[in-house]
Amino acid sequence: MNAQRTQVAIIGAGPAGLLLGQLLHREGIDSVVLEATSRAHVESRVRAGVLEHQSVDILQAAGVGARMRREGLLHHGIELRFQGSRHRIDFGALTGKSVMIYGQHEVVKDLIAARVQAALPLLFEIRDVQLSGLESSAPRVQFRAEGQTHALECDFVAGCDGFHGICRSYLPASGVKLFERVYPFAWLGILAAAPPASQELVYALHEHGFALLSMRSPTLSRLYLQCAPDEDLDGWPDERVWEELQVRLATRDGFSLTTGPIQQKSVTAMRSFVVEPMQWGRLFLAGDAAHIVPPTGAKGMNLALADVHVLARALVSHFRYGSDDLLRRYSEQCLHRIWKVQRFSWWMTALLHRFDTDNDFDRRRQTAELEYLASSPAAQQSLAENYVGPPLE
Ligand code: FAD
Ligand code: PHB
């Protein structure tokens, strides 16, 4: 067996794990990042696209913001669309802030490039991760790579392995509480080589359900349709996807979608989930390993980045000043933000989707809420300040 030692073993090379490694490196703290899949896989996985203004600042301060600043699209508002009319929410006027459109896989590419450039350990395609000694001051991570078993001794384990990872299962069932809501719909998402038909994101509610027009660049559109959780993609040839998007995004003033070759098509389930606390002994969970939000508020990646921002500061405090106060408060501090964001993501989802349980009262109430938002600066302010992101504490 090959044995190694590091200060922080990071499980998972998504945005959470990679940013944590980068933040620790800048503070002179060693880490090893272990990833189950390949570099090509994590660098091409199309997921989130919206960075809160604070996520932009965090990435910039971590030294990985140069390409994002050059290629990202700064957005100062979004459009809400219902009953054929458009209503702009002006983030600039309401909050003085903006968001950045920059794909998650681009963030991941930038973080991997920084890690490779600094010759820091990042292992892909590792298998069978097992954790032990989490309640001692010397945890250990065992894993398999290239047919051999390896052991990594460390001071802390960061569980950044996403919702389907293994780290969360090391929290003792008797010591944690799980909170969960599964929604009765999913999103059918496409990535298409087509110039976005709107300069800003459009969130639409139609009799047929939700639709979202988003983008990745001036030549790449990202669009979503509310669908059934078990929707069969075979029933959605490209022409049907475009037709349905056009129906749900139509306006009385004649909006027309720009279409183009569809490069990718997938169905994403919708869930709200939180585990409390996010820590056990010397295992700290961050990002999707600890919580999931439905994507309507565009928050998942932002929460992951905010968690590791807090965790990095707490680890620095431990290694540099011998103080564990911030580590003890890690879970509580993150959960405060997480529940704010859970509320907002649930609210945006409820506002903009058709539920199969909807009755006439619910429909009227939903329309009244959208009309209130369209006409009330106070209501718009609430949406805008949550969308651009609550302040980091
Ligand atoms: P992940 O990105 O899931 O990374 C975890 C990593 O751990 C993965 O690379 C995985 O392979 C690895 N791993 C898993 N198990 C193991 C193991 N046993 N050993 C080693 N490695 C392991 N968020 C936003 O902020 N804005 C958006 O606009 C947005 N849109 C979205 C749209 C869609 C369609 C989807 C699906 C998600 C969206 N999200 C959005 C959510 C966002 O993508 C996630 O919240 C984000 O990926 C969380 O990052 P993470 O690093 O915590 O986890
Ligand atoms: C995306 O561009 O993928 C995206 C944008 C906004 C959301 C969710 C996803 O709310």
Tens digit of each residue's pLDDT (9 = 90 or more) over 349-366: 999 999 988 789 999 999
Q: Which residue out of 104, 105, 213, 222 has the highest number of ligand 2 atoms within 8 Å of its CB and is therefore the one to mutate? A: 222
Residues 326, 338: Cα–Cα separation, whole Å: 17
* Residue 48 CA, closest ligand 2 atom number: 3
Q: Is 321 a catalytic residue?
A: no
How much is the pLDDT for 392? 82
338-375 exposure pattern, b = at least 16 Cβ within 10 A, e = fewer: beebbebbbbbbebbbbeeeeeeeeeeebeeebeebbe
- Report the side by side order of strands in the sheet with 220-227: 85-90, 77-82, 202-206, 209-217, 220-227, 177-192, 262-276, 291-292
Q: Using a 6 Å cutoff on CB, does residue 222 contact ligand 2?
A: yes
Dihedral (Cα; 386, 387, 392, 393), 10-degree rounding: 10
How much is the pLDDT for 225? 98
From 102, 183, 203, 330, active-site residue: 203
Residues 36, 364: Cα–Cα separation, whole Å: 47
When pLDDT is averaged across residues 331-343 and rounded to a whole number, the result is 98
Q: Is 203 a catalytic residue?
A: yes
How much is the pLDDT for 1? 72
- Residue 390 — pLDDT band, cuts 50, 70, 90? confident
Mean pLDDT, rounded, of the chain: 97
The strand ranges marked E within 154-246 are 156-159, 177-192, 202-206, 209-217, 220-227
- Report the side by side order of strands in the sheet with 31-34: 122-123, 31-34, 8-11, 156-159, 283-285, 279-280
- Residue 2 — pLDDT band, cuts 50, 70, 90? confident
Q: Is 183 a catalytic residue?
A: no
Q: Using a 6 Å cutoff on CB, does residue 166 contact ligand 1?
A: yes
Judge contact between 265 and 241, C-beta under 8 A. yes
Q: How far is ligand 2, taken at its centre, from the CA of residue 320, in Å?
A: 38
Q: Using a 6 Å cutoff on CB, does residue 304 contact ligand 1?
A: yes
Starting from the CA of residue 344, give the closest ligand: 2
From 139, 183, 295, 353, active-site residue: 295
Starting from the CA of residue 14, give the closest ligand: 1
Residues 105, 111: Cα–Cα separation, whole Å: 10
How much is the pLDDT for 40? 98
Q: Is 75 a catalytic residue?
A: yes
Residues 6 or more apart whose CB falls under 8 angstroms from that of 153 comprise 3, 4, 5, 6, 138, 139, 140
How much is the pLDDT for 357? 82
Q: How many angstroms separate the Cα of 74 from the Cα of each of 233, 268, 334, 362, 388?
A: 33, 26, 27, 35, 12
Residues 74, 40: Cα–Cα separation, whole Å: 27
Judge contact between 176 and 277, C-beta under 8 A. yes
Q: How far is ligand 2, taken at its centre, from the CA of residue 315, in Å?
A: 31
How much is the pLDDT for 340? 97
Q: How far is ligand 2, taken at its centre, from the CA of residue 50, in Å?
A: 6
* Residue 216 CA, closest ligand 2 atom number: 2
How much is the pLDDT for 109? 98
Q: Is 299 a catalytic residue?
A: yes
How much is the pLDDT for 231? 97
How much is the pLDDT for 339? 98
For residue 128, pLDDT beyond 90: yes
Judge contact between 298 and 224, C-beta under 8 A. no
Q: Which residue out of 106, 205, 212, 352 has the highest number of ligand 2 atoms within 8 Å of its CB and is therefore the one to mutate? A: 212
Summarize pLDDT for 189-210 with one digit per residue, the tens: 999 999 999 999 999 999 999 9
Starting from the CA of residue 73, give the closest ligand: 2
Q: How far is ligand 1, taken at its centre, from the CA of residue 157, in Å?
A: 18
How much is the pLDDT for 162? 98
Residues 301, 307: Cα–Cα separation, whole Å: 10
Dihedral (Cα; 155, 159, 165, 171), 10-degree rounding: 80
Q: Give the predicted TM-score (pTM) of the model.
A: 0.96
Summarize pLDDT for 57-80 with one digit per residue, the tens: 999 999 999 999 999 999 999 999
When pLDDT is averaged across residues 20-30 and rounded to a whole number, the result is 98
Starting from the CA of residue 51, give the closest ligand: 1
How much is the pLDDT for 212? 98
Dihedral (Cα; 34, 40, 42, 43), 10-degree rounding: 130
Q: How many angstroms separate the Cα of 132 from the Cα of each of 121, 124, 142, 147?
A: 21, 21, 8, 21
Q: How far is ligand 1, taken at its centre, from the CA of residue 162, in Å?
A: 5
- Residue 330 — pLDDT band, cuts 50, 70, 90? very high
DSSP secondary structure code for residue 15 in this structure: H
For residue 145, pLDDT beyond 80: yes
From 25, 206, 291, 299, active-site residue: 299
